[in-house]
Amino acid sequence: GKKVLIVYAHQEPRSLNGSLKRVAVEELSKQGCSVTVSDLYAMHFEPRATRNDIVGCLQNSEEFNYGVETWEAYKRGGLSNDLIEEQKKVQEADLLIFQFPLYWFSMPAIMKGWMDRVLVQGFAHEFPNCYDSGLLKDKLALFSFTTGGSKEMYAKGGISGDIRYVLWPMQHGIMHFCGVKVLAPHICFAPEYVSEEKRKEMLIAWAHRLKTLWKEEPINCSPEWYFK
């Protein structure tokens, strides 16, 4: 069976995000997938990229450079245990699902901190091995999230602009940069402003999509997909 890592960022298990995560675990497990969840809030995941991420001596103790120091630490097996644990989950996964509420046109800080700390140079990318030759090029990713604004607000002519503009730094700047192939996002627009019935329909639609997820083709990872 396939291996799936769900990186989940919501404080409340009974939220729609919590339900979407639960549906994914149930549906993918039914398919025979092995599903692991990194519940960032429950784990008290540290989002800050600091000196604490490096075990032992620094390359340059006079002037701290996080990128250089974590790259060197990764090569010698000197990253902190929480990072090694998350990198192992990523390494084993065929598919990464990121489940979160959209905060200020981006992912919550705790999830951005996961990206900052886990996807270090040497593990996820190493120039010139980036984009199509990124070090995680055998993997798929899917961003599943909720918004505060309606679908109309995130249309091309809407006040918030096309939702694809928002996805550019997350899908392209992080995942594609690391070589990951990206499936079309799964977006639940404005769940707080719809009926309970509509929220149930959102969960059913997600479960339905997951049934045929492995047959989907990744999006065209080019600027045209986002800005055409």
What are the pLDDT tens digits along the chain (228 aa)? 999 999 999 999 999 999 999 999 999 999 999 999 999 999 999 999 999 999 999 999 999 999 999 999 999 999 999 999 999 999 999 999 999 999 999 999 999 999 999 999 999 999 999 999 999 999 999 999 999 999 999 999 999 999 999 999 999 999 999 999 999 999 999 999 999 999 999 999 999 999 999 999 999 989 999 998
Residue 52: in which H helix or E strand, if any?
A: none
Residue 15: in which H helix or E strand, if any?
A: none
SS (H, E, C) 144-166: EEECCCCCCCCCCCCCCCCHHHH
Q: Which of 127, 139, 111, 144 is nearest to 17 (CA)?
A: 144
Q: How far is CA 214 from CA 4, 54, 108, 191, 202, in A?
A: 11, 37, 27, 26, 20
CA-based R_g, the chain, Å: 18
What is the model's pLDDT at position 19? 98
What is the model's pLDDT at position 43? 98
C-alpha–C-alpha distance, residues 209 and 111, integer Å: 24
Q: What predicted TM-score, i.e. pTM, was given to this entire model?
A: 0.97
C-alpha–C-alpha distance, residues 110 and 47, integer Å: 5
Q: Quote the DSSP letter at residue 103.
A: B
Length of the chain: 228
What is the model's pLDDT at position 228? 83
What is the model's pLDDT at position 33? 98
Give the CB-side neighbour count of residue 67, counting CA atoms within 13 A: 5
What is the model's pLDDT at position 168? 97
Q: Which of 93, 115, 190 is nearest to 145 (CA)?
A: 190
What is the model's pLDDT at position 119? 98
CATH code of 3-227, in short, is 3.40.50.360
What is the model's pLDDT at position 161? 96
